[in-house]
Homo-oligomer: A and B are copies of this chain.
Amino acid sequence: MKRIYWNAFEMNCVGHINHGLWKIPGNKRAHYKNLEYWTDLAKTLEKGRFDALFLADVVGLYDVYKGGLDTSIKEAVQIPANDPFIPISAMAHVTSNLSFAVTFSTSYEHPYGFARRMSTLDHLTNGRIAWNIVTSHLESADKNFEVKQYLDHDEKYDLAEEFLEVCYKLWELSWDNDAVSLENNDCYASPSKVHKINHKGKYFNVPGPHICEPSPQRTPVIYQAGMSERGRYFAAKNAECIFLGGKDIDTIKWFIKDIKNKAFSLGRSQNEIKFFMGLCIITGLTDDAIREKIELYKAFWSVEGNLAHYCGGQNLDLSKYEKEDILNGSKVTDILDNLRKIDGKWFRVITGKPVEVVNQIQSIIEETDIDGFNLVQFHSPHTFEDFINYIVPELQNRELYQKDYSPGTYREKLFYGKHEYKFNNFYYNPPKDI
C-alpha cells in the first residue's frame, strides 16, 4: 500500500464542525482558551504518530441564518474563534515531529507581515509548518477588515495568486542559501546575497527584501481547500496537499481526476499532489459501546447550530424558505433532514469496530486513490484517543499508518517518506540544496 497521511482536524474555537457536542459533559472544547488544551493535544497526537495538526480558521461570522448572528452565538458556531497561529510555538515546544498546517486567508492582510509570521513559525518549529491557503467567502470578514471593497469570488483567487507570488519571492528569492554564514565571522550576512524582490503587480507592490533569513523549508508546505472551478485551478497550480472535504466517493474521484488533469496541463507531474478528505469515525470495542457513543452524539446534536453553519457557508437563509422549495437542486426539506443527521453535513462518517472501520477506510483508499485524511472530532480529546487506541494499531497492521516518524521537515516527511522518494519541485525558485 502507499503511504497514507493522517491529520487531526481542529480549530481554535468551541464549535468547529459537529455543532452542539461541546455540551457533552467532559468534552474539552470550551478549554480552547487554555494553553494546556493545545499542549496536551499536541502530545497526544505525537504519541499517536499523527502526521500533522490541521488548524482550520475563519475570520468572518456565520450571520445569515435567521438574518443574524444569534444562532451562531448561542451554539458557538465558530464564534468565539481565536487566532490559530498563537498556540503553535507552545505545541512545537512539547513535540518534535508533529507538523502544523495552519489556515490563513489571502484576502484580508498584507503578504509582507504574513510572510514574516510564516518564516518565524518555520524557524521555531524547525520546518514543521504548512499553510492552508483560503480565500474566504464571508461578507462579515470583508466588512470587518475593510478589504478592497467586495472582490467577487474569482477576483479573490486572482488576488490570492498574486499574494502567493509575493510570498514565494520573499521566501525563495530574497536571501540566497549561503547569505548567512556564521563561519565568516566578519559579517552576519553578505549584502550581495540578500536581494530586493521589487514586486510590482495589480494588487501588491512590495520592494522587499524579506526581513527574515531563510527558514528550514523557506516556503511552508502549501495546502489548499477551495473546490470551485477557480479554486481547483489554483490548487492544481500551487498546492502540494489538497483538502477535498467530501462525503461522496464519486465526487472525490472526480475532483482528484480533474485536479490531476489541471496540474498535468500546467506542467506538473500527476503524482506530486497529496489529496486529503475529511473523515468522521465513531468506534469502540463492542457494538454496545459504539451505539452508546452514537446516541450520545445524537442527544447533544444541534440542528440549529448546523443550520447556522450551513446557511452562513452557502450565504442562503433557509429559514426564509418553504419545505418544498428547491435550492441548489435539492428540496429544502431534504437539506434540513440531512443537517439533522450526525453523518449529514460535509464529511463521511464511518462507524464500527476497529477492523470494520479499517476495512471501510481501506476500500475508500482503493476506490479513490486518496492520500490522506483530516480526522474530524465529535468529542475532544476522546475522538482522537479512540482513534489512536482502537484504529491506529489496525491501520498499522495494514501499513496504512506510519509506525514512526521519518526525519526532516514536514515537506521531507511528506515527500521523502519510506514509501515514496520522488519529489517534484515546483517552487517559484527551488531552494538550491534540494
| Stretch in A76-84, A231-239, A339-347 touching the partner | A76-84
Residues of B near A89 (CB, < 8 A) are: 35, 38, 86-90
Cα A23 to Cα B189 with chains together (Å): 12
| B144/A182 in contact, CB under 8 A | no
| B73/A190 in contact, CB under 8 A | yes
- Shortest CB-to-CB span from A20 to chain B, Å, is 10
- Shortest CB-to-CB span from A37 to chain B, Å, is 9
- Shortest CB-to-CB span from A309 to chain B, Å, is 14
A80-117 contacts to B (CB < 8 Å): 80-83, 85-90, 92-94, 108-110, 112-113, 116-117
Residues of B near A211 (CB, < 8 A) are: 59, 61, 79-81
- Shortest CB-to-CB span from A304 to chain B, Å, is 10
Contact A191/B81 with A113-B145, A120-B86 known, Cβ cut-off 8 Å: no
Residues of B near A59 (CB, < 8 A) are: 112-113, 116, 211
A212-250 contacts to B (CB < 8 Å): 212-213, 215
- Shortest CB-to-CB span from A130 to chain B, Å, is 15
Q: How many copies, total?
A: 2
| B74/A205 in contact, CB under 8 A | no
- Shortest CB-to-CB span from A152 to chain B, Å, is 21
Whether a CB of chain B sits under 8 angstroms from the CB of A132 is no
Interface flags, A132-158, vs B, CB<8A=1, else 0: 000000001001111000000000000
Cα A206 to Cα B215 with chains together (Å): 35
Whether a CB of chain B sits under 8 angstroms from the CB of A70 is yes
Closest to A147 in B: B110
